[in-house]
Structure 1
Amino acid sequence: MNTPVAGASENSSGLPDDAGGWLLPAARAAIAAHLGEPVETPETPAWARRPAACFVTLTTGGSSHPALRGCIGTLAAWRPLAEDVCANAVAAATHDPRFPAVTSAELAGLRVEVSVLSASAPIRFASQHQLVSRLRPGIDGLILEWDGYRGTFLPQVWDQIPDPTEFLNRLKQKAGLAPSWWSRDATVRRYTVTAWQEEP
């Protein structure tokens, strides 16, 4: 079973509303296969053969106290969604530098979430204050770039950081910059996601 993710936008991805019924098992199967577990690979539907970008997020601890276990994704659509979700699922389980690799013993306790991204669009602003005023809490995913530094937050991060100023400052830190840093040469782009999550 799968459920839409609270805080994600309405389905603007062009995917079927029940796409999570294929994406979530495909992501889980990719992780299991990488760990050497026997799996049945679901047949790839036509819509999953089209290019799209996604993030795969892994959590533990159930829905009441979820703990991040890995999150890896792609910001631009350059390969079929079926390939992107499987590659990002394996990467989230094994190559997120914040965590050790997932083991077979952990697999049953993982909760998988797949977020399919829209194309990103630049936000025009003349000052940091104006940028903050143009953010849409609960809707916008953000990409911050400046001089080789880059960071992104999915829209779901608004659930943990609802204040727009704090959201931006924490994104700066994720990009490797100080919260007080600012440059008029920074580039900020926004995107939305359509997301599905396994039921606990």
Structure 2
Amino acid sequence: MVSEEEGKILIRLARKSIESYVKNKSLIDIPEDTPETLKENMGVFTTLNKNGMLRGCIGYPEPIKPLINALVEVAVSAAVNDPRFPPVSESELDDLEIEVSVLTKPELIEVEKPEQYMDKIKIGEDGLIIERGPYRGLLLPQVAVELGWNVEEFLYNTCVKAGLTADCWLFKDVKIYKFSSQIFNE
């Protein structure tokens, strides 16, 4: 997917995007020397932490636009549009730790019985998307590891994130997708 050097470019660009928007309300231009890999359509999330606590997280789970363009958008959105938090202020910029997750295309997990999900989801490797009707929830692969969840807890919490009951993953009309991600940190 993305090399370590390209990951460093993404992190620097995420920080530059956030700082430019918070300070000047302007989006940065995409660098002309962007590596070709970063121009491919890929899903991406930007996670902001402050003092070890979540401060914002927004992304595109689907590969709907070039990675570099999507990154600029989600970095700014994580800073100023995450509905769980007030917009990041200029005084907070130095305290932010930025994480960029580049995602593979989500893949539908097909099972005959819901219990089979237990064997098809790998903690630490897979992120999850759960859909039922108009509801949709996503958790990145690192969340289950950071919180020490097993597969069942990961499924429960992804259902809750979607605004559904914790056991919705057992219902026949639920779609569950998995994806993997490459994680880059400052």
TM > 0.5 fold call: yes
Say whether the 8 Å CA contact 2:130–2:162 is kept in structure 1: yes
Written as runs of structure 1 = structure 2, the 5 A alignment for 1:6-21 is 13=1, 15-21=2-8
**Distance in 2 separating the partners of 1:77 and 1:135:** 21
Which residue number corresponds to residue 6 of structure 1? none
Written as runs of structure 1 = structure 2, the 5 A alignment for 1:158-169 is 158-159=144-145, 160-169=147-156
The counterpart of 1:33, out of the listed 5, 15, 20, is: 20
The residue type equivalent to 2:152 in the other structure is T
**Distance in 1 separating the partners of 2:131 and 2:125:** 20
**Distance in 2 separating the partners of 1:46 and 1:124:** 33
Written as runs of structure 1 = structure 2, the 5 A alignment for 1:102-121 is 102-121=88-107
Alignment RMSD: 1.9
The counterpart of 1:133, out of the listed 119, 124, 133, is: 119
Higher helix share: 2
The residue type equivalent to 1:122 in the other structure is L
Q: Runs of at least 4 residues of structure 1 off by over 6 A?
A: 38-41
Say whether the 8 Å CA contact 2:131–2:174 is kept in structure 1: yes
Q: How many residues align?
A: 181
Shift of residue 129, structure 1, vs aligned partner: 1.6
Written as runs of structure 1 = structure 2, the 5 A alignment for 1:1-200 is 13=1, 15-36=2-23, 43-61=33-51, 66-159=52-145, 160-181=147-168, 182-198=170-186
Higher relative contact order (CA 8 A, sep 6+): 1
**Distance in 2 separating the partners of 1:40 and 1:151:** 30
1:189 is paired with a residue whose SS is strand
